[in-house]
Structure 1
Amino acid sequence: MIKLETAYKGLREFKNLTGRPQQTPGAHFSRVTPEKSPAPKELCWSGDLARAMGITEEHKSSWLSLLSGNQESYNPAPIATRYGGHQFGHWAGQLGDGRAMTLGLYEGLEVQLKGAGLTPYSRGADGKAVLRSSLREYICSEAMYNLGVPTTRALCLVETGEQVLRDMFYDGNAAYEKGAICTRVAPSFLRFGHYQIHAANHELEELTELVNFTIDNYFPGMSIAQMFKEVVRRSAFLMSEWMRVGFVHGVMNTDNLSMLGLTIDYGPYGWLDRFDPNWTPNTTDFRERRYRFINQVSIAYWNLAQLKEALQAVCLESLDEALDQYPEYFHSFYQESVAKKLGLKTCSREFIDELFDLKYELQADMTLFYRTLMSVMEGKDISWQDAFYKSLSDADLRRINTWVTKWQREQKLQRIDPMIAFGIMNEVNPAFIPRNYIVQMVLDDLEKGDETSLRNLEKAIANPYELNEFTRPFLVKAPDWSTSRPGCSTLSCSS
């Protein structure tokens, strides 16, 4: 028997459930029951995470039964939490875990099923998830972990054996897709929206209880102001890490930002292939582009301001000073990050801006550009055209070479050992990222019953900084067809 501890112990449960989606005023969570999977099939299992959690091969079958929703009974009872949020800048009221269920704590980590059925917070949905979105979440969360980006993780992915109806682009073309459950793991899934819902509804006792719970469990010994300052710092660091690897979250609503500074909720995300700071993969955001790559930094600040307003309702000390430190935190983290990507000790904003313009105007591949710089350091013959999508003219090549000369001069001025610089660059410039088109090709193969490409992808994300037989084939520009294929350049919140 797998022994889980109760999550959110001491917080308020809503008990007047009707068995259908509803408002749950004055509560932090509601108890729920996962729906059983008719024909569960293990598709992915993170052996790395399982070992870290102390889960042995001997107990794997018991875990798979639990994680497919097929337990006869649950102790403790699973829960779904209540939260609110600003969606695309507008207050949306109560949202909550619409298809996520926390089973409990194991080795201090919250274990959560995504796609296991209805909760009081499912609104008009069915609480299920499809393989398309579940595989994307599994792959990206494990890839981000191995890239060194703060993130929730994924332990397991199972197909449920059920067909789930989804309208991928909300255009009236609904179709049945394979159902799936992704098991997510994190120290906590607390979001900004958990605090906002209580402040918005003037539930100050409940807000105070949640804040005290958060401090006791995740920020021990801190005041509310100190906790908020740490949330600001972690959020700034997270944004610098997204910038480092070219990640676009796609839906940075306040309910999708973590109190612990983790990447959370992998929905319509994407990776910068062609360096376009105004790009977003989310079709819902195509007109406003609120959550485009370059805007993520300022959106995190805006979201923190909303969290500040919620916490201020139960904090006598002003939180303005902590919020005001966000720009300084971010620029410090970001400049350090760019310096490492270039093998430098320090990097001026002017130098960063010049590089930014070059990558944008010549359409650099975010990943290949830095790996090509590493090849330059090794003295290898390189073709800059292989790292750019624009057809490079002689003037473009002169511009690139002029910048490279400046970069090499800067390394000499900073007296950096080339071997040390290369080692630093190799730690922050991935050879592999799970670009959307790669995951889409895996999904295409799975539809044909072929898991070979999935197994190769799992091996690639395990060592994304290493050039090996699994990562090397993808160290190329994204193919032309990926710019127009649904699931590659365009995604939605449908999942």
Structure 2
Amino acid sequence: MRPLTFDNRFVRELPGDPIRHNYTRQVSDCLWSAVQPTPVKDPQLIAYSAEVAEMLGLTATDMQDRELIQTLGGNGMLDGMFTYATRYGGHQFGHWAGQLGDGRAILLGELVHGGKRFELQLKGAGETPYSRSADGRAVLRSSLREFLCSEAMYHLGVPTTRALSLVKTGDQVVRDMFYDGHPQLEPGAIVCRVAPSFTRFGHFELLASREEFALLKRLIGFTLDRDFADWWPSTGLTLDVNDPAPELIEAWFEEVCARTAVMIAHWMRVGFVHGVMNTDNMSILGLTIDYGPYGWIDNFDPGWTPNTTDAQGRRYCFGRQPDIARWNLERLAEALGTLLPSTQGLADGIATYDQTYFRALTSSLADKFGFERWQEGDGELINQIFEFMTRAEIDQTLFFTQLAQIDLQQPQVSTLQNAFYTQKGWQDFNQDIQTWLMTYCQRLTQSQQSLAQRQHRMATANPVYVLRNYLAQEAIDLATAGDNSRLLELLEVLRHPYTLQPGKEKFAEKRPDWARQKAGCSMLSCSS
């Protein structure tokens, strides 16, 4: 294969851990620790994203190259790579957790192609100084879910990290999936994740908490210079990478707030639930990062969480995601505020989050419901149907794809019947929803849109296909048995989520009854 170009600025320009021996410890006064992936028995490439490969300058032939597959499995390095794990902290479930860091993710370096920079990271590649007594490995089920979801989210138009490859390691990993005292051997796997940067809120939080203020300034300056190079000149301010001006830090925080708001609005639009919105899982670029116990809303329920660890408190449930993102930004603001003479500029950033989220959400809701623009009173109309959808157990994805087919002159609730999960829900609420449809259609007739324009607007906002939890679990079950066909089929279907694909109707169906309580289909754990 052709040589790749690596330019590893993070390790070149920021201080590293002087201890090179790999053992779990507290690390100080640096941002990364050099560490090599732990070799695996028999790496086998079972899936890759052709689009991500092309983005990185890799061909289909390259992706079958033995040296590259060995590298993606953690058994070697290509010329120019430098492997390391980064140091960060975070708030987990609302509580400060101290040092966390890349406990099972190892960066391969920064690949430069087509004038763009990409960090490559192997998740599940072995222990690091930040592994907190864990083995640093990942299993096939979680790795397959992360690989598929990264690409599915991209094609849905949601800001996200990407995934290049999914490699089975040939090793067995012990995991207690639900932390209930029943550990089992599972096949191991490694995902190669790709992003312009994997820097998180927690990188800044840890430095502030340890009072490493000079290093905090350097990290902010570096992040602006490398990751926001296309943005910070627009402020008209000068950047000192070792001591960024307070005004620039404030403006940058406001930009982070705006990007985060847009990302969360997209999550709400498509019905995605992250499941573990700790501050160490929040990207400074406003990208969806760390696909652990995520899930998609099947029957609409603002209180639903896919995470068994969060089953009681439901801190990270679907409906709370906007508020949690705001809370996380406030924690980042506290870290940045340690460098500033006043926190008023940071408060302005939080206000920008609120304003940006409201604009993005109302715009996406207008599109989902087929309105030309958001109008006063639309909120009440939409909240009413969301209440009915919750109480009647109506599938979010199917509801909106079928709503686009409503006849405005003679609306019939029967058009939506397939979106109901239970006969009782249909019997109890079909008349209420029929009444709502009459009001909804009156609202639409105020518009000058044609039928085709309305349906196009709705089709661009409402996916036909999402990575429903049971679909991912079916792919996992087959892949565990050595059959990758469903994984590859899903990968292809999810590349075109807004287009009805002949012969793929089964992937647009609502959750079957058998999946309502099945492990992996309804609730998941943080287990890797």
- Do structure 1's residue 198 and structure 2's residue 221 form an aligned pair? no
User: Residue 371 of structure 2 corresponds to which residue in structure 1?
Assistant: 344
- Do structure 1's residue 233 and structure 2's residue 258 form an aligned pair? yes
User: Residue 145 of structure 1 corresponds to which residue in structure 2?
Assistant: 154
Structure 1 residue 7 displacement after superposition: 4.1
Q: Structure 1 7/480 Cα, relative in aligned 2: closer, same or farther at 3 Å?
A: farther
> Aligned partners of 2:380 and 2:123: how far apart in 1?
44
- Do structure 1's residue 374 and structure 2's residue 377 form an aligned pair? no
**Which of 485, 499, 510 is 1:477 aligned to?**
510
Contact residue 34 and residue 83 of structure 2 kept, 8 A: yes
User: Residue 242 of structure 2 corresponds to which residue in structure 1?
Assistant: none
> Aligned partners of 2:94 and 2:298: how far apart in 1?
27
User: Residue 359 of structure 1 corresponds to which residue in structure 2?
Assistant: 389
Contact residue 470 and residue 520 of structure 2 kept, 8 A: yes
Moved more, 212-221 or 37-46: 212-221
User: Residue 315 of structure 1 corresponds to which residue in structure 2?
Assistant: 340
Q: Name the aligned partner's letter for residue 250 of structure 1.
A: G
- Cα deviation 1:65-93 (Å, max 9, x = unaligned): 32111226763321100000000000000
User: Residue 86 of structure 1 corresponds to which residue in structure 2?
Assistant: 91
- Cα deviation 1:90-135 (Å, max 9, x = unaligned): 0000000001111111230111110111111111101111101000
User: Residue 304 of structure 1 corresponds to which residue in structure 2?
Assistant: 329
Moved more, 21-30 or 342-351: 342-351
> Aligned partners of 1:294 and 1:274: how far apart in 2?
13
SS of the aligned residue for 1:86 comes to strand
Q: Name the aligned partner's letter for residue 90 of structure 1.
A: H
> Aligned partners of 2:108 and 2:426: how far apart in 1?
58
User: Residue 76 of structure 1 corresponds to which residue in structure 2?
Assistant: 81
> Aligned partners of 2:427 and 2:149: how far apart in 1?
38
User: Residue 474 of structure 2 corresponds to which residue in structure 1?
Assistant: 441
Q: Structure 1 252/470 Cα, relative in aligned 2: closer, same or farther at 3 Å?
A: farther
User: Residue 154 of structure 1 corresponds to which residue in structure 2?
Assistant: 163
Q: Structure 1 92/415 Cα, relative in aligned 2: closer, same or farther at 3 Å?
A: same
User: Residue 102 of structure 1 corresponds to which residue in structure 2?
Assistant: 107
Contact residue 103 and residue 111 of structure 1 kept, 8 A: yes
SS of the aligned residue for 1:239 comes to helix
Contact residue 127 and residue 136 of structure 2 kept, 8 A: yes
- Cα deviation 1:375-432 (Å, max 9, x = unaligned): 2259999542210124245562222122222222222212122211111111111110
User: Residue 55 of structure 1 corresponds to which residue in structure 2?
Assistant: 58
SS of the aligned residue for 1:259 comes to coil
User: Residue 207 of structure 1 corresponds to which residue in structure 2?
Assistant: 216
User: Residue 5 of structure 1 corresponds to which residue in structure 2?
Assistant: 7
Contact residue 167 and residue 175 of structure 1 kept, 8 A: yes
CA RMSD in angstroms, aligned pairs only? 1.7
Contact residue 300 and residue 394 of structure 2 kept, 8 A: yes
**Which of 411, 420, 445 is 1:412 aligned to?**
445
> Aligned partners of 1:26 and 1:275: how far apart in 2?
46
Q: Name the aligned partner's letter for residue 345 of structure 1.
A: E
User: Residue 500 of structure 2 corresponds to which residue in structure 1?
Assistant: 467
Q: Structure 1 457/146 Cα, relative in aligned 2: closer, same or farther at 3 Å?
A: same
Q: Name the aligned partner's letter for residue 459 of structure 2.
A: N
Structure 1 residue 490 displacement after superposition: 1.2
Contact residue 168 and residue 187 of structure 2 kept, 8 A: yes
Structure 1 residue 178 displacement after superposition: 0.5
Moved more, 332-341 or 403-412: 403-412
Contact residue 388 and residue 429 of structure 2 kept, 8 A: no
- Do structure 1's residue 24 and structure 2's residue 56 form an aligned pair? no
Contact residue 403 and residue 416 of structure 2 kept, 8 A: no
- Do structure 1's residue 386 and structure 2's residue 391 form an aligned pair? no
- Cα deviation 1:176-226 (Å, max 9, x = unaligned): 111111000011111100000000000001100000011112223351111
> Aligned partners of 2:418 and 2:62: how far apart in 1?
47
Contact residue 459 and residue 470 of structure 1 kept, 8 A: no
Structure 1 residue 323 displacement after superposition: 1.1
Q: Structure 1 338/204 Cα, relative in aligned 2: closer, same or farther at 3 Å?
A: same
Q: Name the aligned partner's letter for residue 390 of structure 2.
A: Y
> Aligned partners of 1:470 and 1:441: how far apart in 2?
18
> Aligned partners of 2:494 and 2:503: how far apart in 1?
9
**Which of 327, 348, 353 is 1:326 aligned to?**
353
User: Residue 134 of structure 2 corresponds to which residue in structure 1?
Assistant: 125
- Do structure 1's residue 399 and structure 2's residue 401 form an aligned pair? no
Q: Structure 1 7/67 Cα, relative in aligned 2: closer, same or farther at 3 Å?
A: farther
> Aligned partners of 1:294 and 1:385: how far apart in 2?
25
Contact residue 17 and residue 120 of structure 1 kept, 8 A: no
Q: Name the aligned partner's letter for residue 420 of structure 2.
A: F
- Cα deviation 1:134-186 (Å, max 9, x = unaligned): 00000011000000000000000000111111110111111111111100001
> Aligned partners of 2:48 and 2:422: how far apart in 1?
40
> Aligned partners of 1:418 and 1:317: how far apart in 2?
53
Contact residue 198 and residue 206 of structure 1 kept, 8 A: yes
SS of the aligned residue for 2:96 comes to strand
SS of the aligned residue for 2:525 comes to coil
Unaligned runs of 5+ in 2: 236-247
Contact residue 464 and residue 471 of structure 1 kept, 8 A: no
Unaligned runs of 5+ in 1: none
Contact residue 432 and residue 471 of structure 1 kept, 8 A: no
Moved more, 25-34 or 324-333: 324-333
- Do structure 1's residue 294 and structure 2's residue 319 form an aligned pair? yes
Q: Name the aligned partner's letter for residue 490 of structure 2.
A: L
- Do structure 1's residue 164 and structure 2's residue 173 form an aligned pair? yes
- Cα deviation 1:338-357 (Å, max 9, x = unaligned): 00011112232222212221
Contact residue 411 and residue 441 of structure 2 kept, 8 A: no
> Aligned partners of 1:48 and 1:110: how far apart in 2?
16
> TM-score, normalising length from structure 1?
0.96
SS of the aligned residue for 1:96 comes to coil
> Aligned partners of 1:58 and 1:449: how far apart in 2?
23
User: Residue 277 of structure 2 corresponds to which residue in structure 1?
Assistant: 252
> TM-score, normalising length from structure 2?
0.91
Moved more, 300-309 or 351-360: 351-360
